[in-house]
Every structure is written in structure tokens, then in C-alpha cells.
Amino acid sequence: MTSKDHFIFYGWDTVELARKFGTPLYVLSETAIKEKCERIREGFLKKYPGTKAHYASKAFLTLAMCRIMAREGMGLDVVSGGELQMAREAGFPLDKVSLHGNNKSLSEIEMAMELGVGTIVVDNAMELEVVIQMAEKYDRRQDILLRISPGIDVKTHKYISTGHAGSKFGLPAFGEEIETVEEIAVSSELVNLRGYHFHLGSLLYERESYVMAVDVILDRVSSLKERHGQIIEEVNIGGGFGIPVMPGDRSPDITEFTDPVMERVSEKCTARGLKVPVVSIEPGRWIISQAGITLYTAGFMKEIPGLVKYISVDGGMTDNPRPALYGSKYYAVNAERYGEEKNEKVTIVGKCCESGDVLVRDIDFPRMKPGEIVAVLNTGAYNFSMASNYNAALRPAVVLLGDNTAEVIVRRQTYEDILRGQFVPDHLSE
């Protein structure tokens, strides 16, 4: 088999990568990441001066990714002390970091204060009290955004819909609670209420949802000005911008979401005599998802006549739990015979002891042999972040592809890593 038959990913032979680094293997293209960041700069940041873009690190975060985002001029959203520590260790400018989360621990809020995190996105009334107390302790005035649940239902899976009225995230956009929290924030000299934040969900393709949410948020901006004379400086519309999942799916440009939002912000602020705020976005999956693939080695195969043919691979729900969690769909290719006729329908399954460990269902594939390489596409987002050691499986390595280099940025786990931190009590040691 010659390399011309192999699946090539951003100039790299995926079969050669699998042979060199082993499988399962996460593969990321730095070129693809930079291309997405360039689209954000050209279609949003340069087009609308004064805007901001923060990378949503929950999608995929490593020390190397922090460095890439810093070089690309992006801010960084973190949701835990671990992500914040990673940003710190990578030398990411902490004044460009926002701390999110609906239940930040006291230690995480304190860590943010100690490190000088630029913005804390306050989720609820109790958290605001803690942030004020910590700001007093560290003798600083902390910039905050209030996270608002605008009450917008969107067309996506319920597990990744976050802006509806019953969401666990944020303050309801209407009612006594939000007004009370606003009043506390405005009256405190220890926090600076810069603005509002919302996030509607993930894998959204309808720009109308963002425009509707902006209407709700600008109503709050107007109300705050009328009641307290407070001028809001920033509105963060979150992320969740849709990407193509399967071949032939539409690939929305960032402008399909941001242009209508910016038009509405300008229109409504002019009509109400409001200062046009800084508008921020938080793309995560939109930047990283298509930049990544996962390589597997095919193992045993099993055909149940008239029902299904299974191809088992050496990974599964431990490195990609999303199909089992909420039915996420993926597309795969035979990396060794990429151009050959797809002459059989197969289901690609993992090796975990779970019936739900299915990566790709009912896909047309060239006839495969054990030992050949399977590439699952569009796995840059959330797969590495959500990976686990279920069944004591080892987490895969991560390889970053440059123009001329392929380098490990996260090494493959070892059995020693699995056992690290475990202890046997004395009474079991005999």
C-alpha cells in the first residue's frame, strides 16, 4: 500500500502518524487552528473595532494550546482552578482571562484574585457576595460580568442548551433577583460591573437566537442605566456557533452569527441613546473541533448476518464519550485505503465494557482488515477534555502538526500513571 492511498490530514500521512506515535492518538493541526483565528480577526475583530474574542478553553486546553491562543491574540475563558493553573503555567496573560462557572469554589475565586484574573463572570447572588468579600481581602476592585439566562430556547440537544429559563447557569433575565444583584454590584466599590454575559448552548446554527438574546440583554442595559445611572461597557454573547458535523453539512462563517448581532446592538443602542458596548464572543468548538482527528487501530471484527457488522478499535468512549453521553455523530474513514470503494456498511465500536461504547453507527466503509488505521474526524473539541480512565484505559497522546513538525504535546499515559496516587491501607497490607 502506498502513501498516495492514505488519508492525508493537513499535509500529513495519517497512517505514518499512527505507526510513529501509536494509537489511539489525538492529532491536531496548528494550521487549522490559526486559520480559524484569522477568520475571527478578519470577520469580527478588525471589522468591528473594540470587540473581543476569548477562546473557550473547556473545548480543548493544554499548555501548548494556551501558547497558540496567546500568540493569536485571543483571550481565554476558564471554568476551574485547573484550567487557570494551566494558563498560568503557560505564561498566558492573566488579565485576558475570564473565570466562569456556576459553582466556583472559594479557593478558585481566591486564586483568581491572587493571580489578577481580568474578569470574573458572576453566576448568582451568593457568588457575588463571595467575590466582594475576596476583593476586600485582596484590596482590589474586581471587574465582573453578570451571567444572564435570557430565556431563549434553541434547537440543540437539551444537555448542551444553556440559555433557557430553567438553566442551571446564570440569573433569570427578568424579576426581582436580577434587580437585587445588579443593585448590590452597582453599590459596591469592590467590584466593577462591566456588563452582562449569556451563552445559549452549543452547535447552534440559527443566528436569530443570538439576536433575540441581545434584545433581552440590551433591555437590561437600558434598565440599569435608568435605575442606577450605570453605563454598561461590555456584552458577551458567548459561543456555541455551529460547525459541520458530517460531510456535506454547511460550514457557517463566524460572520453569519456576529454580523446580525452587531447590527442589532448598533440599531438598538442608537434608538435608546445608549453607549455601544464592547461585544465579546467565546468560540471554542468553532476554533478547535475541525482541527482535530483521532486515529485508531482496527482489531477484531464481528458480523451478525442481517443485522450489523462491527469493527472494534483500540479506543472508544474513554477517549470520546460524546456519542454515549448525548448521541453525538461522527464520521470516519479507512485511513489506509481512503480512496477505495465503500462496499460495506459497518458500525465502529470501542473496547469498553459497555454496550453504549459506539463511536460511529452504520457508515459505508471499504472492507477493512485487522491492524488497519481508522480516522475519526472532527474530534478536536471535547474529546481530550472529557476523556476518562474507565476500565483503567490509558488516555491517548496528543500530537500537534506544524508545517514541518509533528510533536507530542501530551504524552500517552502509562500504567504507572493509572496507579499514581493510590495507596493500600496498613490493615490491607498484610
Which residues are part of the catalytic machinery?
353
* Cis previous bond, 24, omega within 30: yes
Query: 49, 44, 61, 134: which is closest to 97 by C-alpha?
Result: 61
| Ordered DSSP codes for 376-428 | EES-SSSHHHH---GGGPPPPEEEEE-SS-EEEEEPPP-HHHHHTT----GGG
The CA distance from 18 to 9, in Å, is 12
Query: 398, 394, 388, 385: which is closest to 418 by C-alpha?
Result: 394
Cell of 385: 477534555
The length of the chain is 430
The CA distance from 66 to 315, in Å, is 27
The CA distance from 178 to 174, in Å, is 7
Count of alpha carbons within 13 angstroms of residue 96, beta-carbon side: 20
Residue 396: partners with Cβ closer than 8 Å, 6 or more residues away: 23, 24, 25, 26, 294, 315, 319, 387, 412
Give, in degrees to the nearest 5, the angle at Cα 376 between 60 and 162: 45
Do 354 and 317 meet the contact criterion of CB atoms below 8 Å apart? yes
Do 25 and 374 meet the contact criterion of CB atoms below 8 Å apart? no
Which residue in the block uniquely carries the three cell numbers 486515529? 295
The CA distance from 294 to 314, in Å, is 11
Q: How many CB atoms lie within 10 A of CB 149?
A: 25
List the beta strands (DSSP E) in 1-68: 8-9, 12-13, 25-29, 52-56
Cell of 107: 479557593
| Ordered DSSP codes for 223-250 | HHHHHH-PPP-EEE----B----STT--
